[in-house]
Structure formats: C-alpha cells, structure tokens
Amino acid sequence: MIKNMVADHAKWPAKDDPIFTIAGKAQAAEKEFGIENVINSTLGALMDDQGKLVAFKSVYDVFKQQPDEELAAYSAIPGMPRFLEAVEKSFFKEFRPKAFIRTIATPGGTGAVKHAVWNYTNPGDQILTSDWYWTPYQTIAEEGGRNIATYELFDSQGNYNVFGFKKRFKELLDKQNRLLTIINTPAHNPTGYSVSNEEWDDIIGFLKEEAMDPEKRIIVLVDAAYIDFAGVSDERREFLGKFSNLPDNIFIMAAFSASKGFTMYGLRNGAAIGISSSKEIVDEFFSACLHSGRATWSNGTRGAMLTVADIINNQDKYERYINEKTTFNNMLRRRANTFVKRAEEIGLKLVPYRDGFFISIPCEKPFDVSKALMEENLFVVPLVKGLRFAVCSVSEAKCLKAPDIIKRSIENNL
Amino acid sequence: MIKNMVADHAKWPAKDDPIFTIAGKAQAAEKEFGIENVINSTLGALMDDQGKLVAFKSVYDVFKQQPDEELAAYSAIPGMPRFLEAVEKSFFKEFRPKAFIRTIATPGGTGAVKHAVWNYTNPGDQILTSDWYWTPYQTIAEEGGRNIATYELFDSQGNYNVFGFKKRFKELLDKQNRLLTIINTPAHNPTGYSVSNEEWDDIIGFLKEEAMDPEKRIIVLVDAAYIDFAGVSDERREFLGKFSNLPDNIFIMAAFSASKGFTMYGLRNGAAIGISSSKEIVDEFFSACLHSGRATWSNGTRGAMLTVADIINNQDKYERYINEKTTFNNMLRRRANTFVKRAEEIGLKLVPYRDGFFISIPCEKPFDVSKALMEENLFVVPLVKGLRFAVCSVSEAKCLKAPDIIKRSIENNL
C-alpha cells in the first residue's frame, strides 16, 4: 500500500483553518440563541450592526454596470494598466516617494506577500516579522521552505519595540546577507498598531546604516492591507514619502489589497508595489513578479480591477465611494474607541491599538480563555500570545459589553 | 551599484508575452484597415463573427443577479462546497470513475497545473508532455526549478504517438521513480487533438504495468480546460470513467477551468480534481493543495463559484446555459470544419484536429511565416513547430479564406 504520492516538501497535516472553525461555532450559536445574544468577533471583514457584511454600494453599482464582456475577458497578465495607475494614485495620495515605482496586480494582498517571499528569499532563509503576526505569513513561508523569525512587537512598557527589531534584524542580516522583513502597518493585524512617523525615521535610519555594506540586501515588505481604514484622513500614509532616495540595496515592496478598502474580499484583487532608487531594480521586480504570476494564478480579476480604476478616476464615483467609506470608517472608530475606553475603565490590558479591524488582548492560556468565552457566547480568535477581537464585525453596543466578559474569563483561567 | 535584489532563482528576462504582442498588432491593423479586412486568429477566447468576445448571457445574468454581499464576501479557502460538488457533477457527467475523488478551487486551470507541478514533483525533476504544448507549462515548471521534457505528439503518419509517449515515459520514470505527465485533452491546445478512448486504454494499460513496481509514483494531470467545447454531446468525457480501480501509485489529477466552458476567463475560476483508489491519497492531495492555495492566492472568486453552482443545480438555468453553449459550440465546429475542409482541398497540411479552439499548421520557420502573414493582415501565433490558428476567434467566412493565404506564405518562406 502506497501511503504518499505528493513530494516530501508538499506533505502537510490535514487541518481546518482555526478562524473559520470558530466562526462556524459562532454562527451556530447565533442561530440557537439569536444574534442579539452572541458576540461574534471572529471574522476579519467589516459588518454592520446587524452582523451583515458591508459591501459598498458605491463599488458594486460600478462593478455590476460593466458590460458582460468586460467581466468575461482576460485581464492583461500584469494587470489592467489603468488599474495599476489607479492603485498608485490611491495608495500614495500626496506621499509618493521620490523613487522608481512599478506595480503589478495580485490576487489580494496575499499574492503580494507570496511574491515577496518567493522572489526575495531563498529556501531555508529566515524572514523577520513581529511576534504578533498574521498566521498566513507562516503558511506562505513554509510552503516554499522558508521560516519566520520574530522579535517582540512591544517592549515591557507596551511601546513599539524598535530596539528588539534592530537587534534581531542585524543578527539575521549578518548571517544571511539578504533579509526580508514584513512590517504590517498601518492598522496591524492582529493588534491594530500603526508604526508612527518617528518610529519609521528610526527604522529607516538603521536600515541605511546596515546598507552601507554593499554585500547586504535589505528587503522591506510593508503589508498595508488595512491602510484604507487607518487614520481619519491620509495621515497614516505620510510614512510612504520616506521611501525616497534610499540606497539601491534597500528595496521596498508594499502589499495593496482591495479586499478591505473596496470591500472586494471575494473578488481577489490586490497589487504588489515595488519602490527603489534604481530603475533596474524595479524592472527586475516587475519581471520576477510577472513570471511568478504567470506561473501561479496567470492573471487577475479584470472586472474588479476596472471597477477600482473607474472609481479612482471619476470624480463623482470617487466622492460617493469616499463618503461611504468614511461613514463606515467612523463606525469602526466608534466601536474601537468604545472597546478601548471600557477596557481602560475596568483595567483590561490591551496591546496598543491605533487603527483598523482588530484589537488584541494579551493573556496566558489564550486557547483555554477562548474556549471558556464560547460558553458565554463570545467568540474571539485565540493567538499564541493572546486573543484577537475583531471590532470590524461587532456592534458598538457589544463592544461596550465585551471587555467585562473577557476580563472575567481571563481571571477565571489564570 | 547593486544590480540585483531578487534571489537568483527569481531572475527572469524582461519579455512581453508573444501572444499578447501579436494580438496588439492585430488590433492596430483592425483599426487601420477595418475588421473585415483583417484575420485575427491570435487570442484563445471565443468571439462572435464581429470579433466581439462571447460572454454567455445565461451566465452573466445569474452572476449579476447575486446580492452584492455574495460577491464581496470571502469564499471558503478550499472553495464554496456547492461549487465543488457542481464541478464534479458537470465535469464527470455519467462517467464518474469508481474512485475516491476530492476537488479544490483554483484560479482557472492554471492554478490546477501549478498545484500538480509544485506538489507532485521535486526541484530538478523532468515533467513529461508532448512537443506541441501550451507554453505556460514551461513557465510553471521553470518557476519552481522543474523542467519540461517532451515526446513527439504525432508519428510520421500523423497519428497520435503512443509509442513515443511510452518510451520517453519509461526512460524518465526509471531515472526519477516519480513522474508527472501532463496530457492536454480533449481539444488539445494548440493542436485540437483529442486522445481517443482506445488510445486511453493503451496508455492506462501501460501505466498499470509500470506501476507494478511499488517504488514508482505515477502522476497524470489531465488538463481538460477545453472539455466543454469538445465533441457534440458528452462523448469526449467517456475516458474519465477509465480512471476506476487504478493501483494506488497511479494518481490522476484533472484541471477544470470555467474560463472557456462558462466564458469566465477574467473571473479566475477553476478547480483541481484528485482521483485515486485510495482515500488517504486523495486526502493528502486535498491537504497539499489547501496549503499551497492558502500560501499563494488565499482563496477564489466567490461570486463566480456560486454562479457555476447555481447554474448546474437549477434546471431552468442549466437548460438556458446548455442551449447557449450548444449554439456557440456549433458555430465553433462549423468554423473548424470549414478551415479543415479547405486545407484538405488545397493540400495545406494540418496536425490532426478533433475539437476545440485551435488548429495547428506544422511548418518550417514559423516565426518568419507569422511575420510575413502579418503583412497580409493575417495574424497567427508562431510556435516552435508551426502556427496556431485560433478558430475560436475567426468567422466562418474568414476560416474559408485563411488556408490559401497561409499555404502561399509557407511556400514563399521555404
């Protein structure tokens, strides 16, 4: 009896996605006890107060008004040119760095992460990110035989741990000479942290020093999947301008996702953006990603790309879109403020939240706590270092109630 | 000056896709000289006689009638369950083999090819296909450090070369112990050949003999991207039933694409189907592809999946769809018959055409011939061994004219 047909590197244990498993239990509870009696904070998608997914009308009206042929046809392999232009325009706003920039379409932000990991590291390499991190980074890394190394995101005072980042970065760069680091900001998943402008100055200053050695190759992937829900206006994009005039051996990539900003999760639309002082290096980026894309997903969702392009380039459509997004961004901020304020009042410790869909609660035995919370009809995602509460999917009223329940459960499980 | 930032394995020359380049020239000629004066047989998508892409109304009416939220939400990672069921139902029809079968969503047929290559071969391995082959197989193979090996698809009499296949297969299997072979059938791209039932019996008999050695692992990828435009009814699916009760060390994968059959090219919808006598081996297939998918494109286009499921499971919608598809399949067959008949009349040699979107014309110096044909406003894709004429995109009237022009040009370039 043959037991294996896949190659050794492709043997992975059968396992369910833990987030979807918990989300399934939450939905079952909603059916049994009624939506009003369940707090389901599992899924990372924006929901209204009735628990219904928010799909921007200003987006789907444009999407559906396209002729059938525009939806049916293949996209150009690197993405539709006007989409790629629109991505750059909407991503950088007034903070376009002084650099050569090229952009290529990907299926969501995941595709851009995949491009960075595959094309900028070698099998066996360590990839550096923070200890609170989006779990699929591990999946993407291990798929190609790479590993994730981490530094502590927050120091003992709960501040962003630039010192720890630098220390670990230097260790790995000295060993490998080539290092990819993934910085998930603004509105970090799962903590909601956004690296400040001053912290970016500190990071970039450090990277420039490391880059003095021409044998070193430094690649920074800015995973900005949640940037469209960070800050009030465009203040959370300001750091992008700092990627100007960098040495040639610092290459910046950004992951753009239309999933959140355009509520296009299921349409698989995103982009990888390459930023360098060298034209050759962004051209090389483009060729590498073009080859990878052709060899994996071929091309992207044409109708989704054209919709984004149409919205960005048409003033009426753009205003309608921005108004709708702002309304929901305000809703999201109210929910998060309510949660954070109540947590402060009762002394529930959080990791520093700035923006975005998630708030994280550090705790011991997160899996036990998550399980205990299920019995109180509160569903959160357990992570290695704590719990992830998705304010994006929970009403303000429930965001007020949740901290007390969570605090009690953490104390009961000490 | 640093010249390279990508890892060595990711260095690829900047080059345009040759098909899209020629297609661009064809479109320019159509503008300059009028569509009626240009024969544009470059793109592999079904077009009506006016050169407009065919987008099935029976598909896009269903697609667009979905609530915005259904388009916006993420799909389940392996694909929507009712889509996966619908794929199996519509793919196998009454020829479901006696085997364990599991299916997972992919972005088009390309994603399924990628799964087979990545998960069932090792770096450095040779992958066997015929010498007339779809160029992206090479791109997909080399992306992961694999190589394409070929056998001659047709023997000197112009018959399918099962002998050559067996010989090359055995050589490689003896060397590697593990061999993936890609058989693009029915309606092979680029020749339009469909492996007959008798030829399949011959192939399967041979593979079973090779599989007597339990050290050998045999993987067959049936790339069936064009199956929905093969044959008149379902006679071109009959071979699928032959994958019953195979030894455990023969694993069959099929690539399903909704691009052609549902005119969903730009929606990126397809599936990988695993077929084995062993439950463990299809479970392993599912786990491997689930991991790969999560690590590359994350998940698929939800609205496209739900549309296919809805059409397959609703009798009215299904009949409307089948009627529309049949109309266009008949159009396609008329075009191809006209081309083949005229070629026979004037003695233009073709490789054996049976079904599908393409007809191939073997010739010397295909790149020179293609270039010369451009000056006569006839646009075909040059391949290593000849020219690819896309009957899918050329009216019957032009299919009658084209063989004479091509024959003259081949003779002028001898």
**Option in A143, A266, A300 nearest B75 (CB):** A266
Rounded CA Rg of chain B: 21
Shared fold status for B8-56+318-412 and B62-315: no
Buried b (16+ CB within 10 A) or exposed e, A188-224: bbbbbbbbbeebbebbbeebeebbeeeebbbbbbbbb
Q: What is the ipTM of this complex?
A: 0.96
Q: Of A388, A329, A331, give the one whose Cα is nearest residue A43.
A: A388
Interface check for B20 against chain A (CB to CB < 8 A): the answer is: yes
> Which residues from chain A sit within 8 angstroms of residue B54, using beta carbons?
72
- The residue among A1, A3, A5, A248 with the most chain B CBs within 10 A of its CB, best to mutate, is A5
Could you tell me which CATH class the domain A8-56+318-412 is placed in? Answer: alpha beta
Closest CA to B181 of B198, B197, B203, B201: B203
User: Any idea where the domains of chain A sit in the sequence?
Assistant: 8-56+318-412, 62-315
Query: Of B125, B218, B298, B299, which to mutate for an interface test with A (greatest number of A Cβ within 10 Å)?
Result: B298
> In this complex, which of B11, B71, B214 lies closest to A2 when CB atoms are compared?
B214
Tokens of residue A224, six digits = 């900005």
Bridge-partner residues for B256, per DSSP? Answer: B271
Smallest Cα distance from A268 to chain B, Å: 6
pLDDT mean over B273-286: 97
B303 in contact with A, Cβ within 8 Å: yes
User: Contact B266/A45, CB-based, under 8 Å?
Assistant: no
How close, in Å, is residue B322 to chain A by CA atoms?
18
Give dist(CA B207, CA B209) in Å, integer: 5
SS3 assignment, position A148: strand
Q: How far is A48 from chain B (nearest CA, A)?
A: 12
Chain A residues within an 8 Å CB radius of B17: 77, 294
Q: Which residues of A touch B266 (CB under 8 A)?
A: 70-75, 299, 301-303
CA pair distance B207, B202, nearest whole angstrom: 9
Cα R_g (chain A), whole angstroms: 21
At residue B43 the predicted structure's pLDDT band, cuts being 50, 70 and 90, is: confident
More confident residue, A1 or B347: B347
List per-residue pLDDT tens for chain A, 414 residues long.
777 999 999 999 987 777 878 988 999 999 999 999 999 999 899 999 999 999 999 999 999 999 999 999 999 999 999 999 999 999 999 999 999 999 999 999 999 999 999 999 999 999 999 999 999 999 999 999 999 999 999 998 888 999 999 999 999 999 999 999 999 999 999 999 999 999 999 999 999 999 999 999 999 999 999 999 999 999 999 999 999 999 999 999 999 999 999 999 999 999 999 999 999 999 999 999 999 999 999 999 999 999 999 999 999 999 999 999 999 999 999 999 999 999 999 999 999 999 999 999 999 999 999 999 999 999 999 999 999 999 999 999 999 999 999 999 999 988
Closest by CA position to A190, among listed A405, A392, A404: A392
In this prediction, residue A205 carries a pLDDT of: 98
Confidence check: pLDDT of B120 > 90? yes
**Does residue B157 register a pLDDT over 90?**
no
CB contact under 8 A, A107 and B298: yes
Nearest CA in chain B to A119: B10
**Whether A132 contacts A351, CB under 8 Å:** yes
Residues in chain A: 414
The domain B62-315 is classified under which CATH number: 3.65.10.10, 3.40.50.300, 2.40.160.60, 3.40.640.10?
3.40.640.10
Taking an 8 Å cut-off on Cβ atoms, the answer to whether B5 and A76 are in contact is no
Q: Do A5 and B285 touch (CB under 8 A)?
A: yes
d(CA B264, CA B119): 26
Nearest CA to A261 out of A332, A315, A207, A198 is that of: A332
- Residue A181 has phi, psi (to 5 degrees) of -120, 140
Task: Name the closest residue on chain A to residue B280, using Cα atoms.
Answer: A3
For the segment A354-368, what is each residue's pLDDT rounded down to a tens digit? Answer: 999 999 999 999 999
- DSSP output for B138-155: HHHHHHTT-EEEEE-SB-
Instruction: Taking residues B121-129, report their average pLDDT.
Output: 98
pLDDT at residue number B2: 76
Tokens 């244990």 belong to A13
**pLDDT surpassing 80 at residue B277:** yes
CB contact residues (below 8 A), chain B span 168-227, against chain A = 178, 214, 217, 219
- Give the pLDDT score at B46: 97
Which candidate from B52, B278, B300 shows the least CB-CB separation from A69? B52
Instruction: For chain A, say whether B152 makes contact (Cβ under 8 Å).
Output: no
Asked if residues B204 and B195 have their Cβ atoms less than 8 Å apart, the reply is no
Residues of B in contact with A75 (CB under 8 A): 266
Q: To the nearest whole percent, how much of chain B has pLDDT over 70?
A: 100
Rounded to whole angstroms, the Cα distance separating A355 from A73 reads 37
Asked if A249's CB is within 8 angstroms of B120's CB, the reply is no
pLDDT class for B200, splitting at 50, 70, 90?
A: very high
Measured over the CA atoms of residue B297, residue B10, residue A144 and residue B135, the dihedral's sign is: positive
Burial class (CB in 10 A: 0-12, 13-18, 19+), B5: buried
